[in-house]
Chain A
Amino acid sequence: MTAETPHGEGPTYLREIPLVADHNAYHLGQIVQIRKALGDWRWRKTLKIDPNFWMTHFYLGLAYVQEGKYGAAISEFHKGKTLSEDDSNVIALLGYVHGVAGKRSEAQKILDKLILLPKQQYTSPFSIAEIYIGLGEKDRAFEWLEKAYEDRTWLLRILKVEPIFDPIRSDPRFADLLRRIGLAP
């Protein structure tokens, strides 16, 4: 191990072997950091622990939405929907992502289904607003956000920071709603 490599210019096997390990460790650190920045680390680790936990698929889908990977997001939301036995929050995001992906008829079908759903189970108006955002129908989104406000839904707490609502953030109605919720800066 401490002998010089026969074809080298002085370095020993002992120098070269830890160098490989050291170099790998450095770039493994970078790979993990990049995956964290892409939102592709924490949820994948969680999936390894329990691949059937629906919320992991839900949040992984949201991460894919932010990366513009709509196909992957749809796949994750479908898994989340099945595993959660049709949680309305997951169905809403499925509708939203179909909308932003340009699959309007699919988004509309999900919207229609979700609007009918309250007869069987509670659906927050906030969830309906999310689908309207995906469809680019801002007035209808505000209409349902107002209903969410009247409903005092807890989901409104994420309104200020949730990127889904970026398309309506500059609208004065958004600032007014935030102020009424108590989230204005």
Chain B
Amino acid sequence: MNADSLIILIYILVLASYLGFELITKVPPTLHTPLMSGSNAISGITIVGALIASNEMGYGTLSKWLGMLALILATINVVGGYMVTDRMLKMFKKK
């Protein structure tokens, strides 16, 4: 990777973190638990990396096995995280 593409990635990191701070400060305490389980699901974005890693050629190599492990774990996070968040948010009702 050259310095130019690195600097772009750092730009993205800094701006996305700043945006994250601004958005999440506004989330009321009532919703902090769903926010956390929802962000569990978002951190499952590693699934993209896991897909790439488990698609390597050479059946049975260490990197492929690691990729497959990552894929299982990240899928648990994505599916479990979104579903449990939805289950919780469904309960928040106003009468």
Does B bind A?
no
Which residues of B approach A to under 8 Å, CB–CB?
none
Q: Which residues of A contact B (CB under 8 A)?
A: none
